[in-house]
Amino acid sequence: MVKAVIFDLDGVITDTAELHYQAWKDLADSISIFFAREFNEQLKGISRMDSLNKILIQGGLADQYNEQEKIALAEKKNKEYIKLLVELTPEHIYSGIKELLDDLKENGVKIGLASASLNGPAILEHLKITEYFDTIVNPNSVKQGKPAPDIFLRAAKDLDVAPSDCIGIEDSEAGICSIKRANMFAVGVGTVEVMKQAGADLIINDTKNLNWSDLLDEYKTK
């Protein structure tokens, strides 16, 4: 029985990756680190501080900053990112997502958000879909970020649903690992090669192909 669907945010509900890229690029420029667009791919699903650490390591500056200075750098990036977030409107919701949310509500399926983003609640507000969510997990409230299962398990607990009765939807490798380690059915949005490697149970190349009856069929045949 599918009793809950737990969504990732960036790359599943909307595309904030470009805005993250612009904000990180701005920060990297300010400390003279080269930051390539391709490198941004490696930051998907990764927390803000882990992203900063990866950027400093690839720029050879990992030892140049103490913890307090790193927090200040991450805050600087986030200020810039929040400025860019005002561009987001309901038109930026990926196709198929609003229809899926409506179908889940109609069928009494609970809805959760398991995003690594501390800006998740603000993004849902910009997209005007907050009221669909029965829980929005604060990523700071769990011990370990993705690929650990903590955030998906917390969402299931909040919703009072057994993990095996949950479907998780993700676009990052770390996110699919997190869902599988939580013992949930994993839907991967992305290319077959990346999502297969990550262990997705169902692979969708585009959110416009996501719909409730197909999800249910695939879950039942698994």
User: Measured between alpha carbons, how far is residue 76 from residues 19, 51, 94 in Å?
Assistant: 14, 14, 28
x-or-dash string of contact with ligand B16, 66-85, rule CB under 6 A = ------------x-------
Rank residues 145 and 163 by Cβ distance to ligand B16 and give the closer one: 145
Tokens, residue 149: 């299962």
Per rule CB under 6 A, is residue 25 in the interface with ligand B16? no
Rank residues 107 and 205 by Cβ distance to ligand B16 and give the closer one: 205
Contact residues toward Mg ion (CB under 5 A) are: 8, 10-11, 45, 171-172
For the segment 166-195, give every residue that binds ligand B16 (CB under 6 A): 172
Per rule CB under 6 A, is residue 48 in the interface with ligand B16? yes
Query: Catalytic annotation on 102?
Result: no
Query: Catalytic annotation on 8?
Result: yes
Per rule CB under 6 A, is residue 126 in the interface with ligand B16? no
DSSP percent split of the chain into helix, strand, coil, nearest 5: 55, 10, 35
Cα dihedral angle (96, 100, 101, 102), rounded to 10 degrees?
A: 110
Rank residues 47 and 207 by Cβ distance to ligand B16 and give the closer one: 47
Structural Rg of the chain based on CA atoms: 17
Helix pair 212-221, 97-106: axis angle to 10 deg: 70
Rank residues 2 and 23 by Cβ distance to ligand B16 and give the closer one: 23
Question: What's the longest Cα–Cα distance across the chain?
Answer: 53
**Of 4, 14, 20, 167, the one binding ligand B16 by CB under 6 A:** 20
Burial bucket for residue 96 (CB in 10 Å: 0-12, 13-18, 19+): middle
Per rule CB under 6 A, is residue 88 in the interface with ligand B16? no
For the segment 28-47, give every residue that binds ligand B16 (CB under 6 A): 43-47
Tokens, residue 157: 């607990």
Question: Active-site residues: which are they?
Answer: 8, 10
- Note the residues at the interface with ligand B16 (CB under 6 A): 8-11, 20, 43-48, 51, 78, 115-119, 172
